[in-house]
Structure 1
Amino acid sequence: MAARDSDITPVVEDYLKVVWSAGEWAETRVTTKLLAERLGVGPSTVSENVRRMVGLGLLDHEPYGAIALTPEGERLAVGMVRRHRLIETYLVERLGYAWDEVHDEAEVLEHAVSDLMLARIDAALGHPRRDPHGDPIPTVDGELPAADACTLADLATGVAGVVVRISDADPALLRWFTELGLGLDARVEVVALREFAGTVTVAWTRPDGTTSEAALGLPAARSVWVAEG
């Protein structure tokens, strides 16, 4: 059964976006447990919704297998990702929100904004290619640049690169990065990797030429994505 417009509820949109996002920057196996954790609902609720979305032709799920998007599910998911990231960008650039404040706001607004308003937001921003955290914004046609980066935790000592993305999963971590002055487009170099201590010492130069150095815990280092070069 093909999904009708009335079938595409905010709940369905949230599921599609979470399934898609899980595989954008890492090969993450999507399970009912993962969906339950990220959506904040019980496993039985996830199982029921996944079964319904399989019936609508939006998800594929074999018993005990991973959950995956169908082509139609992926099209809708990418559209929701575009909405979310454009709204985040507008909130930061035009309404003065901090980058740690926009995720929850965008989660609400992405379901309500019309296609016309989204197009106006896109045009008003000059058709941005990334959101405030460095995540690429899909085009209106659903095209998305391939992610070609690795985390700071994956770089060897002495290797340098440019920060292209910082995960927005933890607002407290974003606030800490703000205090450190570590953000997008900074040129970073791994000074020392101490796996026994769980730290990565990095030095960076901001776009304005100022420099800093700090020791990051591995969880923080895994939240910073760098394009080598």
Structure 2
Amino acid sequence: MMLSDVMEDYLKAIYQLQRGTEDRIKTSEIAEELEVTSPTVTSMLDKLEERGLVDREKYRGVTLTDEGETVALEVVRHHRLLEAYLTEHLDYDWSEVHAEADRLEHHISEDFEARVADALGEPEVDPHGSPIPSPELEPPDRPEGEPVSEFEEGETVVVEEVADRDPEILSYLADHGVEPGVELEILEVAPFGMVTARSSGADDPVSLPDHVAHHVRVAQPAQLEQ
């Protein structure tokens, strides 16, 4: 099935919005994710529904069909493998790779994808900790981390994943040692959303404003051992 880059972008966006929820995805959520208008989303959803890639219910939103999910998983796999390759072999900073991978993900062959995966040793996650779908395009099978702002003062958590879209946030986190695999001690959670934490090996605490903390997903060490 030949799809345009834009169609694949929509399927990927719906897949990512579906993470951690069983609810249908609303038109307004897709519009915000892709930074387009709601009428533009509605027009594209008409096309995707005609091709059997999404299931729509009036006033309730959409979900991916099995075929739509397979397409989305392939695009996500391409994207995350490319991010890993760019950081590990081409010396890109992790704050730079999202935009590059966005441009390349639609245009690599399956042979190229396989060679990249082999060169990387078939990684399970990308540089930001996001799980990479398997070569069989199965959804990643691992528990969802929670935003660091959901935890309480005195708790210790491990960073699992950080959102990859905002270069400034990624640079800020890297400068303060907040990366996947790093242990954080929650020192304070202010009423207005500011989280103050200390990363393992750091002398000074790091302040995570609400809009930054929302992008940092963590789990308690005991959860990771299960």
- TM-score, normalised with respect to structure 1: 0.90
Residue among 81, 84, 95 paired with 1:86:
81
Moved more, 216-225 or 91-100: 216-225
Distance 1:211 1:58 in 2: 50
Distance 1:133 1:25 in 2: 18
2:149 matches 1:153: yes
2:216 matches 1:224: yes
Task: State the secondary structure of the residue aligned to 2:205.
Answer: strand
CA deviations on 1:158-206 (whole Å, 9 max, x unpaired) are: 11121111111321111111221221111111111111x431111111x
The aligned counterpart of 1:13 is 8
State the shift of 1:150 in Å. 1.4
Residue among 18, 23, 27 paired with 1:23:
18
Distance 2:21 2:204 in 1: 29
The equivalences for 1:56-205 within 5 A come to 56-143=51-138, 144-195=140-191, 197-205=192-200
Distance 1:202 1:210 in 2: 10
Identity level (%): 36
Q: When the two structures are aligned, how many residues end up with a matched partner? A: 220
The equivalences for 1:19-58 within 5 A come to 19-25=14-20, 29-58=24-53
Matched residue type, 1:129: E
- TM-score, normalised with respect to structure 2: 0.91
8 Å contact from structure 1 (residues 157, 191) kept in 2: yes
Moved more, 16-25 or 34-43: 34-43
Structure 1: which 5+ runs fail to align? Answer: none
RMSD between superposed Cα atoms in Å = 1.6
State the shift of 1:29 in Å. 4.9
